[in-house]
Amino acid sequence: MHRKAPIEDINEDDLKVSKPKSSAAGLEAVMVSLQRGFAQAGPSRTVRSMLRVNQRGGFDCPGCAWPESITGKRKPAEFCENGAKAIAEESTARTVTPEWFEEHPISVLEQRTEYWLGSQGRITHPMIIRAGETHYTPISWGDAFATIAEHVNATTPDRCVFYTSGRTANETAFLYQLLARSIGTNNLPDCSNMCHESSGTAMNPTIGIGKGTVSLEDFDHAELIFVVGQNPGTNHPRMLSALSEARERGARVVSINPLPEAGLMGFKDPQRASGMMGKSAPISSDFLQIKVGGDLALFQAFGHLLLQAEEQNPGTVIDQAFIDSATEGFEAYRQARSEIDWAATEEATGLSREQITEIAQLLAKSKATIICWALGLTQQPHSVPTLKEIINLLLLQGNFGKPGAGACPVRGHSNVQGDRTMGIWEKPTEALLASMDAEFGITSPRAHGYDSTETLHAFEHDEVDVFVSMGGNFALANSDTEALEAGMRRAKLTVHISTKPNRSHVVHGQTSLILPTLGRTDKDDKHPKGAQFLSVEDSMSVIHSTQGRLTPVSEHLLAEPVIVARMAQAILGDDHPVDWRSMAEDYDVIRDHIARVLPGFEDFNRRVRQKNGFVLPNPPRDTRSFATSSGRGQFTVSEFESLSAPEGHLILQTMRSHDQYNTTFYGLDDRYRGIKDGRRVILIHPDDLAETGFADRDLVDVISTFAGSERRANRFRLVSYPTARGCVAAYYPEANALVHRDLVARESNTPGFKAMMVRFVPHELQPGPTLDS
Ligand SMILES: Nc1nc2c(c(=O)[nH]1)N[C@H]1C(S)=C(S)[C@@H](COP(=O)(O)OP(=O)(O)OC[C@H]3O[C@@H](n4cnc5c(=O)[nH]c(N)nc54)[C@H](O)[C@@H]3O)O[C@H]1N2
Ligand SMILES: Nc1nc2c(c(=O)[nH]1)N[C@H]1C(S)=C(S)[C@@H](COP(=O)(O)OP(=O)(O)OC[C@H]3O[C@@H](n4cnc5c(=O)[nH]c(N)nc54)[C@H](O)[C@@H]3O)O[C@H]1N2
Ligand SMILES: [Mo]
C-alpha cells in the first residue's frame, strides 16, 4: 500500500508576518490549488477530480455551501483555491494503515497538532482501541458493528448521542436520524448548533423559515448588498464572483467587519484573463470597521434612520403597502426605534454617527437590498436579537420575494442546510416525527434531545455512554476544550465515522472505533445495482446530486449510508420494521422514503436527476408569504445591547485562516492576512498593543474571563494588525480552550466563539494551570 513520509509538525517559532493583502485570488490562488493537489494526490487524480467539481453530473465541492448557477453556463473550472485544497485533502494518495497505527501509540498522537494528524492521509481500515490499550488495532466491520450494538443495547437511548458534521449527504443524514429515532433518542447535535443556529432561531419565528430567501440570480438584480461578519475571500471564494459582477453593473457593496479582509476589498478573478494578470476588481464600495459585537446597535441605528427619512419624505423609504399587507408588529418596532442614544451607538460600534448615516442613506435609496451574513453575527450572546434586527430592516423596505432582495445567511459546511432539512435536529417538529412514524411504523421519541452545547455538559456530567460522530471533530470544534476532552475520555464508547485521523480519535472513549468511509470524490459502486449517487442542498435551497469518480484509497472503506444501515441492523435486529438493507443497497429506496416523509421532495428520484436538480419551496421568496404563527412577517423589538470588555480586557473573536477547513489545516499560510508558518497568534491593534505594555511578537499567555471563572491558553504571539480598536482575533480551534461552556448565544445555545473577554500575561515557560471555577 502506498505511503509517504509524514510531514513535520508546526514549529510556532517559524512564524513570519508580512503586510496584509488588499485583494484576494488571482494567479497565485490557481498556482496554490494545483501545487496542493499535486502534492497530495499526484497530477492524474488532481486533474480528474478538478474537472468534475461542481459540474452537472459531477460531485459537489466539499468546501462550502455557496451555490452554482442553475440557469447560466458553468465555467469550465467551477471551483476556487480553497475548494481545490479541500479536494486535494480528500483525494490524497497518502494513507493511514494499520501499520501506521501500530507505529503511533495514543501517547504520541496526543502530542501532535491537528495539522500533523490530518496530513497523514486517508484511513484505510476499521480500527478499535479498548480500555487499557495503547494503540488502535484493526477490527472487522462485522465485529465493529457488533461492538456498537452491544454498547447501545446495554444502556438507555438518552445516554446515546449521534453527532453530525455538515458534509454528510442528504440520504445519509436521513438514515442517520431515522436510526437515532428508531433507537429512541433525539440526541442529534450537529455542527449547525455551533454555526448558523442563531440564524434559524431568529428567522423561523419572524419569517417562517430558517433559510436564506435569495437565489444566486438575485445578485444580478440587487442595488445594495451588505456582507456582514463574513470573510468570503477565504470561506466562500466563489461568492466573490457574484459580488464583483454586482459591483461591475453598479450595485453598492457594503462590508461590515472588524477586519479589513482582503476578499472584501478586491478580487482578481482567476476565471478571467484580467484577473489572472493581476488586475483586481474592487469588491466593497464602503467598509464599516465595526467593533466585535456592535452589529445590533448598528442595525438598530439603521432602523431609526430609515424611519426618520421616511418621516421627512413620506412614501419614499419604507414599503408601507407591504408592511400593512404582509407583516405584524410594525407599530411597536417604530416606537422602539423612534429614539436613539448616539453616544452609546458610537461606543458600541466604534463608528461615527456620520459613517452610520452615510450607509443609512444608501439603504434609504435602495429598492432591492440583500443582506449576507455569516459567523461574525451568530456566535455572540446577543446574536439572535442582532439577526432579528436585520430581519426588521428587510421587512421595513419589503425586501422579500422581489428580485435582488432578501436575507442571505451564508452557510458553512457544504450540506449543513440539507442535514437539517433531513431531520438532523435535536428539536424535531411533531410534523416530521408523525410523518416518519407513519412511513416506517416506528414510534419516534417526542422529548427534545441534546444540542452540541448540551452534549458538552452531558459529557462533563458522565451522562454519555455512546457517542457516534458522523464526520466532524467534536472535541476540537466545541468550547471548553479541556473539560470536553476529559468528558469524552470517560464515555464508554466513541465511534468516529471519518476519512482522516483527528483529535477526537485521540481523546477517545474507553472503547473507541474509527470507521473509515468514502468521501465526496470517491466512487461508490459496490452495490447490487451498481454505482450510487447522493444529494446535497446548497445555501440557496437547491437540491442536486453529487457523485465521486475516484478509486477509493482502500477496498475496506464503506459508504456512509451503508455504515449507518449496518449499524442499525446490528443494534435493532432483523425484525425491525425499517428496510435498512434495501436502503443501503439502493439509494433510490432512501429517496422514495424521503419523498413521502418530507414536504418539497415529491418525486425526488426523478427531480434529483434533472440537469440542475430542483429548488425547495421557500414561501418568502416564492410568494412573499410567511409561515409564522400569525401568518405574517414578524417585526420584533430587542433591547440595545453590545459587548463591553471589563477593565484591562479586550474582546476576542476566533476565525479561520486561509489554509484551514474548520479543525483541519491544509497548510500554515494565512496568505491574505500575511501570517505564515505559525497559528498561535493574537492580532491586535497597534494602539491597544501599546496600552497592554507588550511589544509586537511578544509571547504571551491568554486568560479569558467569564462569570467569575477563568480559562487559560498558553504561548501565543501578539501581532500588530489593523483590526478594530478594543478587539483582538485568534484562530479557531487553538483558542477554543478559552471559551467557557456557558458563554453562548442566549436563545440558540451557539457557543460565544466571537465574544470572549481576554487579557494577556507574559508567557510562563512552565505551562500554568488552567483555572476553573
Ligand atoms: N476554506 C474554508 N472555507 C470554509 C470554512 C473553512 O474553515 N475554510 N468553514 C466553513 C464553515 S463550517 C463556515 S460556518 C463558514 C464560515 O465563514 P465565516 O463566517 O466567513 O468564517 P470566520 O472565519 O469565522 O469569519 C468570521 C468573519 O466575521 C468577522 N467578525 C467577527 N466578529 C464580528 C462581529 O462582531 N461583527 C462583524 N460584523 N463581523 C465580525 C471576522 O473578522 C471574520 O471576517 O465557512 C465555510 N467555508
Ligand atoms: N472557536 C471557534 N470554534 C468553532 C467555530 C468558530 O468560528 N470558532 N466554528 C464552528 C463551526 S461554524 C463549525 S461548522 C464547527 C465544525 O465542526 P465539525 O464539523 O465537527 O468539524 P470539521 O473540522 O469540519 O470536521 C473535520 C473532520 O471531518 C472528517 N471528514 C471529512 N470529510 C468527511 C467525509 O466525507 N465523511 C466523514 N464521515 N467524515 C469526513 C475528517 O475526519 C475531519 O477530521 O466548528 C465550530 N467551532
Ligand atoms: Mo460552520
**Averaged pLDDT for residues 572-601:** 97
Cα 395 to ligand 2 centre (Å): 34
Whether 3 has a pLDDT exceeding 70, the answer reads no
44 or 187, which is more confident: 187
What are 435-468's pLDDT values in tens digits?
A: 999 999 999 999 999 999 999 999 999 999 999 9
CB atoms within 10 A of CB 620: 27
Q: Please indicate, yes or no, whether residues 456 and 405 belong to a single structural domain of this protein.
A: no
In a domain, 316, yes or no: yes
Whether 400 has a pLDDT exceeding 90, the answer reads yes
Going from the C-alpha of 48 to that of each of 84, 88, 90, 600, 679, the distances in angstroms are 12, 11, 13, 34, 32
Q: Where are the beta strands (DSSP E) in 95-176?
A: 95-96, 122-123, 127-129, 137-138, 160-164
Q: To the nearest whole number, what is the mean pLDDT of the chain? A: 93
Residue with cell string 411597536? 332
CA 749 vs. chain centroid, Å, equals 15
**Averaged pLDDT for residues 631-637:** 98
What are 506-519's pLDDT values in tens digits?
A: 999 999 999 999 99
Whether 767 has a pLDDT exceeding 70, the answer reads no
Whether 63 has a pLDDT exceeding 80, the answer reads no
Q: Which three cell numbers stand for residue 306?
A: 430609515
pLDDT of 634 reads 98
Q: From the CA of 656, give the closest atom in ligand 2.
A: 7
Cα 472 to ligand 2 centre (Å): 4
pLDDT of 5 reads 47
Whether 585 has a pLDDT exceeding 70, the answer reads yes
CA separation for the pair 345, 357 (Å, rounded): 12
Name residue 562's amino acid.
V
CB distance 683 to 730 below 8 Å: yes
Kindly report the protein residue whose alpha carbon is nearest to atom 46 of ligand 1. 412
Pocket test for ligand 1, best of 653, 657, 670 (most atoms within 8 A of CB): 653
Q: Please indicate, yes or no, whether residues 357 and 403 belong to a single structural domain of this protein.
A: yes
What are 737-762's pLDDT values in tens digits?
A: 999 999 999 999 999 999 999 999 99
Q: What is the CATH number of the domain that holds 707?
A: 2.40.40.20
Pocket test for ligand 1, best of 87, 656, 670, 756 (most atoms within 8 A of CB): 656
Going from the C-alpha of 553 to that of each of 3, 92, 125, 713, the distances in angstroms are 11, 8, 10, 38
What are 489-511's pLDDT values in tens digits?
A: 999 999 999 999 999 999 999 99
Kindly report the protein residue whose alpha carbon is nearest to atom 31 of ligand 1. 376
Give the DSSP H or E segment for 227: strand 224-228
CA separation for the pair 163, 184 (Å, rounded): 15
**Averaged pLDDT for residues 383-399:** 98
Q: Which of 90, 113, 143 is the last residue of a domain?
A: 90
Closest Cα partner for 145 from 573, 580, 574, 570?
A: 570
Strand 542-546 relative to strand 614-615, pairing: antiparallel
Least confident of 113-117, 280-284, 326-330: 280-284
Whether 30 has a pLDDT exceeding 90, the answer reads no
Q: Please indicate, yes or no, whether residues 171 and 251 belong to a single structural domain of this protein.
A: no
Cα 96 to ligand 3 centre (Å): 27
pLDDT of 41 reads 77
CA separation for the pair 551, 519 (Å, rounded): 11
Whether 74 has a pLDDT exceeding 70, the answer reads no
pLDDT of 771 reads 47
pLDDT of 505 reads 98
In a domain, 486, yes or no: yes
CA separation for the pair 656, 712 (Å, rounded): 20
Q: Measured from the CB, is residue 171 less than 6 Å from ligand 1?
A: no
Q: Which residues are found with C-beta within 5 Å of the ion, ligand 3?
A: 195, 412
Kindly report the protein residue whose alpha carbon is nearest to atom 18 of ligand 2. 472
Cα 661 to ligand 3 centre (Å): 10
Q: Please indicate, yes or no, whether residues 424 and 390 belong to a single structural domain of this protein.
A: no
Whether 770 has a pLDDT exceeding 70, the answer reads no
Rounded to 5 degrees, what are φ and ψ at 396? -55, -40
pLDDT of 473 reads 97
Q: Which range marks the domain in which residue 665 is found?
A: 650-762
CB distance 257 to 402 below 8 Å: no
Rounded to 5 degrees, what are φ and ψ at 432? -65, -50
CA separation for the pair 261, 267 (Å, rounded): 11
Q: Please indicate, yes or no, whether residues 237 and 332 belong to a single structural domain of this protein.
A: yes
Whether 142 has a pLDDT exceeding 90, the answer reads yes
**Averaged pLDDT for residues 150-174:** 98
Q: Percent of the chain at pLDDT above 70?
A: 96
pLDDT of 75 reads 61
Kindly report the protein residue whose alpha carbon is nearest to atom 46 of ligand 2. 477
CA separation for the pair 440, 246 (Å, rounded): 48
Kindly report the protein residue whose alpha carbon is nearest to atom 17 of ligand 1. 235
Whether 46 has a pLDDT exceeding 80, the answer reads no
pLDDT of 78 reads 62
pLDDT of 88 reads 81
Task: Assign 72 a pLDDT band (cuts: 50, 70, 90).
Answer: low
Cα 652 to ligand 2 centre (Å): 21
Closest Cα partner for 88 from 114, 31, 50?
A: 50
**Averaged pLDDT for residues 621-639:** 97
CA separation for the pair 572, 181 (Å, rounded): 11
Cα 351 to ligand 1 centre (Å): 21
Whether 286 has a pLDDT exceeding 90, the answer reads yes
pLDDT of 36 reads 77
Kindly report the protein residue whose alpha carbon is nearest to atom 27 of ligand 1. 230
Q: Which three cell numbers stand for residue 486?
A: 476529559
What are 675-724's pLDDT values in tens digits?
A: 999 999 999 999 999 999 999 999 999 999 999 999 999 999 999 999 99
Q: From the CA of 231, give the closest atom in ligand 1.
A: 20
First to last CA, the chain: 50
Whether 267 has a pLDDT exceeding 90, the answer reads no
Cα 656 to ligand 1 centre (Å): 6
Whether 2 has a pLDDT exceeding 60, the answer reads no
pLDDT of 93 reads 84
CB atoms within 10 A of CB 90: 24
Q: Please indicate, yes or no, whether residues 81 and 178 belong to a single structural domain of this protein.
A: no
Q: From the CA of 118, give the closest atom in ligand 2.
A: 44
Q: What is the CATH number of the domain that holds 604?
A: 3.40.50.740
Kindly report the protein residue whose alpha carbon is nearest to atom 37 of ligand 1. 229
**DSSP structural state of residue 290:** P
Q: Which three cell numbers stand for residue 495?
A: 465511534
Q: Measured from the CB, is residue 656 less than 6 Å from ligand 1?
A: yes
Closest Cα partner for 771 from 730, 736, 738?
A: 738
Cα 440 to ligand 3 centre (Å): 32
pLDDT of 8 reads 83
Q: Measured from the CB, is residue 419 less than 6 Å from ligand 1?
A: no
Whether 401 has a pLDDT exceeding 90, the answer reads yes
- The count of structural domains within the chain is 4
- Ligand 2 first shell, C-beta below 6 A: 118, 165-167, 191, 194-195, 375, 412-413, 470-474, 477, 497-500, 502, 517, 519-520, 560, 654, 662-664, 732-733, 735-736, 753
CA separation for the pair 115, 55 (Å, rounded): 30
546 or 4, which is more confident: 546
Helix, strand and coil percent figures for the chain, each rounded to 5? 40, 20, 45
pLDDT of 1 reads 41
Q: Please indicate, yes or no, whether residues 183 and 237 belong to a single structural domain of this protein.
A: no
**Inter-helix orientation angle 342-349/295-312, to 10°:** 140
| DSSP states along 70-102 | SSSPPPSS---HHHHHHHHHHS-S-EE-HHHHH
Q: Which of 390, 410, 430 is the last residue of a domain?
A: 410
Closest Cα partner for 47 from 39, 38, 56?
A: 38
Which residues on neighbouring strands pair with residue 701, listed in sequence order?
A: 761
Cα 374 to ligand 1 centre (Å): 6
Length of the chain: 773
CA angle 452, 188, 527 (to 5 degrees): 130
In a domain, 627, yes or no: no
Q: Please indicate, yes or no, whether residues 226 and 370 belong to a single structural domain of this protein.
A: yes
Task: Assign 245 a pLDDT band (cuts: 50, 70, 90).
Answer: very high
In a domain, 550, yes or no: yes
Q: Please indicate, yes or no, whether residues 479 and 550 belong to a single structural domain of this protein.
A: yes
Task: Assign 257 a pLDDT band (cuts: 50, 70, 90).
Answer: very high
**Averaged pLDDT for residues 471-498:** 97
CA separation for the pair 477, 419 (Å, rounded): 18
3-state secondary structure of 196: coil
Cα 476 to ligand 2 centre (Å): 9
Which distant-in-sequence residues (6+ apart) come within 8 Å of 243 by Cβ?
219, 225, 227, 232, 253, 267, 283
CA separation for the pair 615, 101 (Å, rounded): 45
Cα 677 to ligand 2 centre (Å): 22
Cα 38 to ligand 3 centre (Å): 28
**Averaged pLDDT for residues 620-628:** 97
Task: Assign 734 a pLDDT band (cuts: 50, 70, 90).
Answer: very high
Pocket test for ligand 2, best of 375, 456, 499, 507 (most atoms within 8 A of CB): 499
Rounded to 5 degrees, what are φ and ψ at 309? -65, -35
Burial class (CB in 10 A: 0-12, 13-18, 19+), 6: middle
Q: Measured from the CB, is residue 477 less than 6 Å from ligand 1?
A: no
**Averaged pLDDT for residues 336-355:** 98
pLDDT of 772 reads 43
In a domain, 180, yes or no: yes
CA separation for the pair 679, 770 (Å, rounded): 20
Closest Cα partner for 85 from 119, 113, 125, 126?
A: 119
> Which ligand ends up closest to the CA of 729?
1
> Which ligand ends up closest to the CA of 190?
2
Kindly report the protein residue whose alpha carbon is nearest to atom 4 of ligand 2. 477
> Which ligand ends up closest to the CA of 164?
2
In a domain, 226, yes or no: yes
Q: What is the CATH number of the domain that holds 247?
A: 3.40.228.10
Q: From the CA of 500, give the closest atom in ligand 2.
A: 42
pLDDT of 238 reads 87
Q: Please indicate, yes or no, whether residues 273 and 292 belong to a single structural domain of this protein.
A: yes
Whether 9 has a pLDDT exceeding 70, the answer reads yes
Closest Cα partner for 136 from 553, 495, 471?
A: 495
pLDDT of 40 reads 77
Q: Please indicate, yes or no, whether residues 458 and 430 belong to a single structural domain of this protein.
A: yes
Q: Please indicate, yes or no, whether residues 263 and 380 belong to a single structural domain of this protein.
A: yes
Cα 478 to ligand 2 centre (Å): 10
CB distance 655 to 732 below 8 Å: yes
Rounded to 5 degrees, what are φ and ψ at 671? -55, -45
In a domain, 15, yes or no: no
Q: From the CA of 192, give the closest atom in ligand 2.
A: 14
Q: Measured from the CB, is residue 621 less than 6 Å from ligand 1?
A: no
Kindly report the protein residue whose alpha carbon is nearest to atom 11 of ligand 2. 195
Q: Which of 600, 616, 632 is the last residue of a domain?
A: 616
CB distance 166 to 413 below 8 Å: yes
Q: From the CA of 658, give the closest atom in ligand 1.
A: 1
3-state secondary structure of 522: strand
Burial class (CB in 10 A: 0-12, 13-18, 19+), 724: buried
Whether 558 has a pLDDT exceeding 60, the answer reads yes
Q: Measured from the CB, is residue 751 less than 6 Å from ligand 1?
A: no
Cα 352 to ligand 3 centre (Å): 32
Q: Percent of the chain at pLDDT above 90?
A: 83
Whether 362 has a pLDDT exceeding 60, the answer reads yes
In a domain, 28, yes or no: yes
Whether 4 has a pLDDT exceeding 50, the answer reads no
Task: Assign 79 a pLDDT band (cuts: 50, 70, 90).
Answer: low
Helices (H) and strands (E) in the chain, counts: 30, 32
Whether 12 has a pLDDT exceeding 50, the answer reads yes
